[in-house]
Amino acid sequence: MSPVLETEEHKALRKAVAALGTRYGHDYLTKVIAAGAYPDELWSEAAKLGYLGVNLPEEYGGGGSGIAELSIVLEELGAAGCPLLMMVVSPAICGTVIARFGTADQKQDWLPALADGTRTMAFGITEPDAGSNSHRITTTARRDGTDWILTGRKVFISGVDIADATLIVGRAEDARTGKLKPCLFIVPRDAPGFERRQIAMELHGAEKQFELTLDDVRLPADALVGDEDAGLLQLFAGLNPERVMTAAFAIGMGRYALSRAITYARERTVWRDPIGAHQAIAHPLAQAHIELELARLMMQKAAFLYDSGDDAGAGEAANMAKYAAAEACVKAVDQSVHTLGGNGLTGEFGLASLITASRVARIAPVSREMILNYVSHQTLGLPKSY
């Protein structure tokens, strides 16, 4: 498949997911958030229709497709005003890592449940003193007989309260070199010593953020995902889909905001003509649309490269897609709110909350500055300053 032109199957998927999203919409998500709940109904229906596991292997109940298809699902739900953030984490990161590197038992245990939505998994990498610099991760894993003992802290981990387990990134000692190497572990939610504290956020979303404490958490040998010597490869196998899906999340949000502004600009009349007839209103909205479309093209390229097995090419494209989508989303939301004026800050139109939410893609899972570092070093060959 061309990374630019979508197949008929992709178009049909977009249409079907858009119909699902429209039946729920932003009002549904707003009510869920206000109640402090989680969008279980939407999650379950999306799973029943096969959307949550579209990227997972068919032999484990998935759709047998890829990140390209999963990103379409998230984008269209976002464009309808009801994105599911845990799609970025559970099927995209954790499902991908287990499908590519998990043992036969881990695949059988987790993939069917992730695909049908009956179980979810969170992902824990960020630490208080190791945000952008994953080499400073201090969560350690040491052997105790056949078991593993995990000790450390994580922060800004989404959905831990609803996840059945968290895929934790730790570091274990290499027996040959004595150096610490990254390893991934499946930590059950009720594991002794695995504690969570909810972080108070100004960002209002269905998915809560948590700080995690791992106090000598004892895990069996089979909690280690795959081969302990493949930890770094496993990690990046999950981070590239995360960036693609974050781009999809941002593009969907930008499209939702823009659609509300366009409808308003067509109908709102202050003088003789609707305000959308004036170039001061029309041109910024047109620019926002163009930038969202350009970001989508890079996202499609990144997904295409990843699904084709080009991890190196996907790394560059996924970072660029995430950067472009975040910038386009922020601009689309800002311009949409501005188009509505005072109405853009009311609950009726559902845009004001996006002012904060749109910034998330600029910050997480990696800041735009670190993406610029990546491109300047990896793509342009410029020297590092750190």
Catalytic residue ranges: 242
Cα-based distances in Å from 201 to 32, 205, 359 = 17, 9, 13
Tokens of 186: 């499946």
Q: Let me know the angle formed at the C-alpha of 365 by 1 and 211, rounded to the nearest 5 degrees.
A: 140
165 neighbors 97 (Cβ within 8 angstroms): no
Let me know: does 316 contact 306? Beta carbons within 8 Å: no
DSSP one-letter string for 203-252: S--SS-EEEEEEEEEEE-GGGB-S-GGGHHHHHHHHHHHHHHHHHHHHHH
Q: Are 89 and 246 in contact (CB under 8 A)?
A: no
Q: Find the length of the chain.
A: 386
Task: Tell me how far apart the alpha carbons of residues 155 and 211 are, in angstroms, rounded to a whole number.
Answer: 4
Residue where the block lists tokens 């027996």: 175
Whole-number Å distance between alpha carbons of 238 and 95: 9
**Cβ(130)–Cβ(136) below 8 Å:** yes
* 147-158 and 180-188 strand pairing: unpaired
Let me know: does 158 contact 249? Beta carbons within 8 Å. Answer: no
